[in-house]
Structure 1
Amino acid sequence: PDAPERTEVLGRLAIAPHLLDSALDADEISRASFSTDCLSIIWKQPKNVSIQEQLKFDVGSMGLFLQRGQLTVILSECPPSFTSAEFQGSRCARDALLKLLDHTIVHYLGHLKVIKQITVELGSKITFSMENQYLLQMLALAESLIYYINAIEANGGVLAKLESHAQQLGLDAQRLGVLHDLVADNQQCARQARIYSDVVSGLMDTRGTIINNNVSVLLKKLTLISIIFLPLNLLASIGGMSEFSMMTMGIDWKISYSLFLLCLVLLGWGSWHALVHLLETRQRRGRHVMSPGRRTGKDQVPHVMER
């Protein structure tokens, strides 16, 4: 809201200016405060996903003020649609408040489902990647999950406070049951966010190792190609001089140079297989040395049979 709207809101709701500032501050923590005729809630909600250089899931704040049978919602972006099916059947402001809180929890669960799908897709791309682009996107997802966990758990504190002041809020048995369901859904949402955060954080190092291994394999292949072409370049340089033409002057140049090219191909093919076989043999010997051997002779533990 701009300056005239802020003045109008402060005058109509008769609330403290810091509550309005808190409702528009994205870094404000969730809390609930009670007065004689007003319930003030600072609630954390997920923002719309921003796709710029990388995916980013962030959270924002909104203010909920319940007084004199009216619910006032103050937020800077992402206004909810109170005409949707989620808010059908609201008979009073308390019903609208509970449905709005439920709408936010469902919004969190939807984003967590998207984060899981993106994590699986990034994991499959990282398996064959040699750049850190996808790894940086996964790091951004891990950071977003931390913000989500903080916001969801803070909202859980607000729900617990509302549950303890249900009589003061004038909630009947049906609305109190809805509030109990909101507490359980929010706990499940927080648990799911923590699981996703642990999985993403735990696999970050492993997927970084996969990228390093892909680069190492590529460098190994390039090194083999360089080693093979080094003698081939030397022989090709010598064969391309006039001495080779003088040595094969009795043979048609088409036949002589074709045979020379065939020898180079066979030499390169043989060098490639010889180097690959040598490297594989050394790797097998290294694994055999590191693996524990069997006990024989005096190293065996005798089996003692007791009667």
Structure 2
Amino acid sequence: MITIFKTFGGCTEIKSVQPGCWIHVVEPTQNEIECLTEQFQLPNDTISDILDADERPRVEYDDDWSLVIMRIPIRTTNNGVPYQTVPLGIYLTNNFTLSLCMCDNQVLPVDQACVYKDPMHSVNDATNFILQLFLRSGNLYMKYLKHINQMTNLIEQDLEKSIKNRELNQLLKLEKCMVFFITSIKANEIVLAKIRNSKRINNEINEDLLEDAIIENKQALEMGKIYSDIQSGMMDAFASVISNNLNLVMKQLTLISIILMIPTLIASIFGMNVPNSFENSSMAMPLIIIVSLILSIFGVLLFRKRQWF
């Protein structure tokens, strides 16, 4: 989907390219990719790089254009992993600025691409537009990290009484999200440093906005590291808890088998086809049952005294 806006605010949509406009591209089809190369003169390798899910963040310069690639978080259901990161490319030229992403996202959503809350706010500086995207990306990272932490707390409650690996598998997928996030945030931090030190795209840069973006990115990185360390320790601890819970179940089943073995043993002895003193007694059956119950209860009390039950 290709949408053209008059300014970077994403409030006024236009139908054709004009100087200073912003072209917003999300989930491009093959025909739209051909349009980007033919009409907007984007290099094929640049489009391929941005649409590559494993592309690393970077800043690239040419005589007529500049390219900034960052990684942003998205929701996903791929293999049960709730979140992952994808590249978002911003292509800068003298006539227009183009943002390109392989899928819909919350940094620049398809249905509401407006970057600023004030719809009347007009922004004409491409560099500050990029910083605004970094700031929104950092906020989104922290939002998703908090949600991952909430999911971890819910799984933790189930892990305390679990004897299966389902909860550990869920934690493993959340840990995978943490690795995606931390790696991407670190790479974004390097890109922000390059933008700060660049002499080509830092003209009239908003220092306050740059500082906010850097602080937000660092805060998201620190939060990701803390949550990742907590999850790593939790997985090690609860792996032992699951093993211990399984041992307790096996011990209880063994004790139950021992208790059930007592009446079985007595019934087997008196059920043998050999003479005994009770074969002609009318009280033999009730007496055997009573003795079996007494010995079974005695075994239960003995185990409880030793705190095996």
Normalised TM-score (structure 2): 0.79
SS at structure 1 position matched to 2:75: coil
Matched, 1:196 2:227: yes
Structure 2 gaps, min length 5:
1-27
Deviating above 6 A after TM superposition, structure 1's stretches of 4 or more consecutive aligned residues are 241-245
Q: Which moved more, 1:163-172 or 1:11-20?
A: 163-172
Quote the residue 2:103 is aligned against. 77
Q: Secondary structure at the match of 1:32?
A: strand
Alignment of 1:18-57 (within 5 A): 18-50=45-77, 54-57=80-83
2:143 to 110, 113, 131: 110
8 Å Cα contact 2:262/2:295 also seen in 1: no
Please give the alpha-carbon distance, in whole angstroms, between the structure 2 residues aligned to 1:107 and 1:195: 17
Partner of 1:134: 167
Q: Kindly indicate whether the alpha-carbon contact (under 8 Å) linking 1:38 and 1:67 is maintained by their aligned counterparts in 2.
A: yes
The aligned residue for residue 186 of structure 2 is: 153
Mapping of 1:98-247 within 5 angstroms?
A: 98-165=131-198, 168-172=201-205, 175-239=206-270, 246-247=279-280
**Which has the larger displacement, 86-95 or 264-273?**
86-95
Rounded to whole Å, the distance in 1 between the matches of 2:165 and 2:199 is 51
Aligned residues: 272
- The answer on 1:91 being equivalent to 2:157 is no
**Aligned-pair Cα RMSD in Å:** 2.5
Offset of residue 19 of structure 1:
1.2
- 1:25-52: CA deviation from partner (whole Å, max 9, x where unpaired): 1101000123344221111111213176
Name the counterpart of 2:43. 16
Q: Take 2:164 and 2:271, find their aligned partners in 1: how far apart are those partners?
A: 41
Task: Give % identity.
Answer: 25
CA offset digits 1:155-195 (Å, max 9, x no partner): 111111111126743224xx221011101110111111111
Report if aligned partners of 2:75, 2:82 keep a CA contact under 8 Å in 1: no
Given residue 224 of structure 2, which amino acid in structure 1 is its aligned partner?
A
Q: Are the aligned partners of 1:63 and 1:74 in contact in 2 as well (CA < 8 Å)?
A: yes
Instruction: Give me the whole-angstrom Cα distance separating, in 2, the residues matched to 1:99 and 1:151.
Output: 17
Q: Distance in 2 between matches of 1:259 and 1:193?
A: 69
Per-residue CA shift, 1:119-165, capped at 9, x if unaligned? 11111111100000100111111122111111011011111111112
Amino acid at match of 1:228: I
| TM-score, scaled relative to structure 1 | 0.79
Asked if 1:2 is matched to 2:33, the reply is no
Q: Measured at CA, do residues 13 and 165 of structure 1 come closer, stay the same or move farther in structure 2, by a change above 3 Å?
A: farther
The structure with more helix, counted as a fraction of residues: 1
Residues 244, 2 of structure 1: alpha-carbon distance in 2 compared, 3 angstrom cutoff:
farther
State which structure, 1 or 2, has the greater radius of gyration over its C-alpha atoms. 1
Moved more, 228-237 or 183-192: 228-237
Q: State how far apart, in whole Å, the 2-side matches of 1:103 and 1:75 are.
A: 15
Structure-2 separation of matches of 1:168 and 1:85: 21
Shift of 1:278: 4.8
Higher relative contact order (CA 8 A, sep 6+): 2
Distance 1:91 1:149 in 2: 31
